[in-house]
Amino acid sequence: MLQSIDHWLAGVGLLPHGYCIAWQPALLWSLVISNVIIGLSYYAIPVALGWFVRREKDLRFNWIFWLFAAFIFACGTTHFIDAVSIWWPIYRLDAAVLDLTAGVSLLTGVLIWPLIPKVSQFLHQRRRALAALDESNQRLFASLRQMQLKQAQIEENERRFRLILENAPIGMAIVGLDGRFLHVNRALCAMLGYEEPELLAKTFQEITHPGDLAQDLAHVQALIEGRGETYRMEKRYFTRSGAILHIQLDVSILRDAAGRPLYFISQIQDVSEAKRITEQLAYQASHDALTGLPNRLAFEQALREVLATPARQAGRDFLLYLDLDHFKLVNDGCGHLAGDRLLREFAALLKSRLRRNDFLARLGGDEFGVLLRDTDTKGVRRLCEDLLQMAADYRLTYRQRTFQIGLSIGAAEIVPSVADHGIVLAQADTACYAAKNRGRGRYCFYHDDDAGIRQALHTMDWAQHVQTALDRDGFVLHLQKIFDEQRGVVGYEALLRLHGERGELVPAANFLPTVERLGWVSRIDRWVVRQTLKVIRRWDDKALHTGSATGTCRDPGRCSISVNLSARSAGDPIFADWLLSELERSMASPQRLRFEITETELLAAGEQELRLISELRQRGYEVWLDDFGVGYNSFELLRRMQVDGIKIDASFTRDLLRDPVDRALVEAIVSLARRLDLELIAEGVEDERTCQELCAMGVTQFQGYYFHSAEEAEAALAA
């Protein structure tokens, strides 16, 4: 068989023995160089594997690398033997190396097959590990991305915070726990007058007013100790120039994740102007704008404080209630500017006569109040006499006119048994009212057993009855007929009655003084006007449907109802506007309604009264002057006021037959009316002889109980 192989090899040109190619150098060296390169390359592999295995000591299956390195090393050795064998055949070494290579190859081949499942498992585990690692990497990447976004958000928030802090219109600062300013904005620097570096070199303690520092530090300590997270207070800062700045401070504390305080965030608002306005409003709320004195609200508060004083002693504290006499004459005669000037000057005079610890206030209108502390009855009397003399000596000169006013004073002792300020005020007011009833220009002490006080209290009781009547429609409208000389009815006068406690009807003369004293007369006038307009509407509706004459009037076309307007209402622009509006709304005919303005000391024919009279007459309504002759300026009023008629007051007609003075006055009034072409009515005619005498003087219209007693409107119109 060997011979057959030799023969086959010889046939293809491959000899099993020796290399007979030495005479071909190119081929020879090609074989030598190739074997050397292959051998060196093979040697490089086990060196690299050995270096790798020694470096990666924890790598699994290290032995396979060593086995493979041995196999490659043996393969490389065979290539070196082949190169040497060209010249020096070393077949035994070649065979030994080949045998070794064959053994290593066989061993490698045998051992590698059981290793494949382990390697596969290892690779599978590695892939799972890589997948898990990849997933972890993705999560890590997502977390990193989230962190980057949060970081960007934090940076953006910080940027916004800095922008807000820097550009906020109010002062803002970050303050360290020791009080040092860490960051301040422009508004705060401008507010305090510091440059930023100057303010950053200071602490809030250095610029805080000493009077506010203790409270501020207490709040700060509470925040640091965890007894709060914010606080607000008003305090004072010193500006760079040393001026005091009122600010509102809002402070919050910033803590770390563990709750440890880091620094404070402060918001500072300049409230100096707001504080000034608040103080101004508080001052205005408690002071009278005209005189600068405390007002009624402040006076009542001061009185409450006196009453709340423990261990008050009787005869030590007093309250004075002061009311100017004849103030209306000045206010309405020359206008409100004159009245305002009078009040200012008189307030200054009052203040100059009082002690430092006395409390003076304007209670409203022409009324003042004085709280006298630590004095006695003698001291109060001396003061009252001094004030009365001061008022008597005072003169107001305004636009070449001179006025003298008076003063009425009511005094009430503040006793320990009285704790209600309203009672003390009512006592002093009642005493003042009693002083006016006794003739004005005097003072009166409140005593329960004083006859004047009891009379004043009786008068004040009417106030409650009137208030109840206003609230519950407790008034009744009566009409009294007006007759001519032929005893024919020519008109009616609307008169007011009040339901008494026992159901009786009380004449207006009983309660009108109280109404005027309380300033309610315009409310009464409104009620009378409304009720009269209702009567006129029913009156006209009845005549329209029946076609009959109205009542028993001689001339139904000119038969009217007269409504009295007080001087206070005539001088009140609000009442005037209401009256004109009410007349337009009701469309009352001027032939059915006329107005009588009552002449009293309050009627001064001022601008407002003249305006109302002019407006009424332009609308066709007649305006008369009622109770003519009772005032000291009757003829002055008649000269200034354009009216359609006058009514002679009952006080002149009642004693006409016995009193020559009354007779002369009536004759003068009749002559004046005839010359001025004014209509004339005589009131208070109670007998035939008086009526005949008035007719002889030229009076043609009469009113009084002799002709007709007032009765309810429906009955009076039907009769």
Instruction: Give catalytic residues, as residue numbers.
Output: 366
Instruction: Give the angle 319-320-321 at the CA atoms, nearest 5°.
Output: 125
Q: What is the DSSP letter of 415?
A: -
- 300: which 2 tokens? 């009542």
Neighbouring residues of 215: CB distance < 8 A, sequence distance ≥ 6? 233, 235
Task: Say how far apart CA 712 and CA 719 lie, in whole Å.
Answer: 11
- 291: which 2 tokens? 């005189």
E strands, 613-653, where? Answer: 623-628, 645-648
With tokens 């404080």, the residue in question is 305
Residue 143: Cβ within 10 Å count: 10
In DSSP terms, 370 is beta-bridged to 320, 360
Task: Give 653-716 as a 3 state SS string.
Answer: HCCCCCCHHHHHHHHHHHHHHHHCCCEEEECCCCCHHHHHHHHHHCCCEECCCCCCCCEEHHHH
Give the SS3 label for residue 490. Answer: strand
φ and ψ at residue 507, rounded to 5 degrees: -65, 155
C-alpha distances in Å from residue 705, one per residue of 196, 692, 710: 94, 15, 8
The answer to whether residues 368 and 325 touch, using CB atoms and an 8 Å cutoff, is no
With tokens 């009122």, the residue in question is 246
The answer to whether residues 86 and 80 touch, using CB atoms and an 8 Å cutoff, is no
Q: Looking at this protein, which amino acid is placed at residue 395?
A: R
Task: Say how far apart CA 321 and CA 360 lie, in whole Å.
Answer: 10
C-alpha distances in Å from residue 594, one per residue of 358, 532, 717: 51, 11, 17
With tokens 């007719």, the residue in question is 695
E strands, 435-559, where? Answer: 443-445, 475-484, 489-499, 505-507
Task: Say how far apart CA 596 and CA 625 lie, in whole Å.
Answer: 6
The answer to whether residues 252 and 229 touch, using CB atoms and an 8 Å cutoff, is yes
Q: Looking at this protein, which amino acid is placed at residue 79?
A: H
Neighbouring residues of 3: CB distance < 8 A, sequence distance ≥ 6? none
The answer to whether residues 314 and 416 touch, using CB atoms and an 8 Å cutoff, is yes
Task: Say how far apart CA 154 and CA 75 lie, in whole Å.
Answer: 66
- 375: which 2 tokens? 């004095």
The answer to whether residues 406 and 392 touch, using CB atoms and an 8 Å cutoff, is yes
Residue 149: Cβ within 10 Å count: 10
Task: Say how far apart CA 173 and CA 77 lie, in whole Å.
Answer: 84
